Amino acid sequence: MDVGFKETILAVVTTRKDTVIGDNVPVFYVKDEAEREKIALLLSKITLGMVHDLENGAYVIVRH
């Protein structure tokens, strides 16, 4: 049986500085939606991760 993490949160990109996120994940604060989308896309390319929209002003980059 294979036990372990298959998915890893690599980063969070958000426009909301008031959101508290754990200290184990890099958080990128951006000024608007356009920058949020651009930074999330670039980070996903760099880390070979997938972008997921949490629909609360944040994108999460995850490696599956």
Residue 20, number of CB atoms within 10 A of its CB:
8
Owning domain of residue 55: 1-30+48-64
Residue 37 lies in a domain: no
Give me the pLDDT at residue 17, please. 87
pTM of this structure: 0.83
Q: Does the residue 35 lie in any domain? A: no
Contacts of 21 (CB under 8 A, 6+ apart): 12, 14, 27
Asked if the structure places residue 17 within a domain, the reply is yes
54 belongs to a structural domain: yes
Domain tally, the chain:
1
**Rounded Cα gap, residues 14 and 57, in angstroms:** 6
**Cα dihedral 7/13/16/20 (nearest 10):** 40
Q: Are 61 and 11 in contact (CB under 8 A)?
A: yes
Which two three-digit tokens encode residue 7? 């998915």
pLDDT along the chain (64 residues), means of 10: 68 87 86 96 96 94 91
